[in-house]
Amino acid sequence: MRRTTTRLADGRELIYFDRREDADRSAADTRELPPRPPASELRHDPVLDEWVAVAGHRQGRTFLPPADQCPLCPSAPGRATEIPSPDYDVAVFENRFPSFGGHAGAHEDPGGLSEARAGAGRCEVVCFTSAHDSSFAALSPDQVELVLAAWADRTAELSRLPGVEQVFCFENRGAEIGITLAHPHGQIYAYPYVTPRTRRMLASAARHRERTGGDLFADVLAAERKAGVRVVAENEHWTAFVPAAARWPFEVHVYPNRRVPDLTALDAGERASFGPLYTGVLRRLDGLFGVAMPYVAAWHQAPVRQGRDLAYLHLQLFSIRRAAEKLKYLAGSESAMGAFVNDVLPEEAARQLRTSGDF
Instruction: Confirm or deny that 127 is annotated as ligand binding.
Output: no
Q: Which domain holds residue 340?
A: 197-354
Say how far apart CA 207 and CA 204 lie, in whole Å: 5
Please provide the size of the chain in residues: 359
Q: What's the total number of domains in the chain?
A: 2
Specify if 359 maps to a domain: no
Say how far apart CA 157 and CA 177 lie, in whole Å: 29
CA distance to 72, 101, 237, 322, per residue, from 20 (Å)? 21, 32, 27, 42
Verify that 183 and 206 share a domain, yes or no. Answer: no
Burial of 324 (0-12, 13-18, 19+ CB in 10 A): exposed
Whole-structure pTM over 0.85, yes or no?
yes
Q: Are 224 and 239 in contact (CB under 8 A)?
A: yes
Q: Nearest 5°: CA angle at 339, between 179 and 346? A: 75
Where are the extended beta strands (E) located within the chain?
2-7, 13-18, 40-45, 50-54, 90-94, 116-119, 122-127, 166-173, 185-191, 231-234, 238-241, 250-256, 295-300, 314-319, 321-323, 326-327
Question: What local confidence, expressed as pLDDT, does residue 110 receive?
Answer: 81
Average pLDDT value for residue range 48-59: 91
Q: Are 134 and 113 in contact (CB under 8 A)?
A: no
Verify that 24 and 154 share a domain, yes or no. Answer: yes
Alpha-helical segments (H) within 106-215: 141-159, 196-212
Q: State the Cα torsion 315-201-354-236 to the nearest 10°.
A: 60
Is residue 314 among the annotated active site residues? Answer: no
Verify that 124 and 271 share a domain, yes or no. Answer: no
Judging by DSSP bridges, how do beta strands 326-327 and 314-319 pair with one another?
unpaired
Instruction: Confirm or deny that 103 is annotated as ligand binding.
Output: no
Specify if 175 maps to a domain: yes
Verify that 30 and 58 share a domain, yes or no. Answer: yes
Helix (H, G, I), strand (E, B) or coil at 103: strand
Say how far apart CA 207 and CA 307 lie, in whole Å: 12
Verify that 162 and 203 share a domain, yes or no. Answer: no
Specify if 321 maps to a domain: yes
**Minimal CA–CA distance to 270: which of 236, 321, 242?**
236
Instruction: Confirm or deny that 183 is annotated as ligand binding.
Output: yes
Specify if 168 maps to a domain: yes
CATH number at 228 reads 3.30.428.10
Verify that 94 and 19 share a domain, yes or no. Answer: yes
Give the chain's mean pLDDT.
95
Per-residue pLDDT tens for 153-211?
999 999 999 999 999 999 999 999 999 999 999 999 999 999 999 999 999 999 999 99
**Catalytic pick from 185, 237, 300, 314?**
185
Question: What local confidence, expressed as pLDDT, does residue 56 receive?
Answer: 84
Instruction: Give 107's pLDDT tier (boundaries 50, 70, 90).
Output: low
Type of residue at 38: P
Say how many Å lie between the first and final Cα of the chain, rounded.
28
Instruction: Confirm or deny that 73 is annotated as ligand binding.
Output: yes
Question: What local confidence, expressed as pLDDT, does residue 101 receive?
Answer: 84
Per-residue pLDDT tens for 121-159?
999 999 999 999 999 999 999 999 999 999 999 999 999
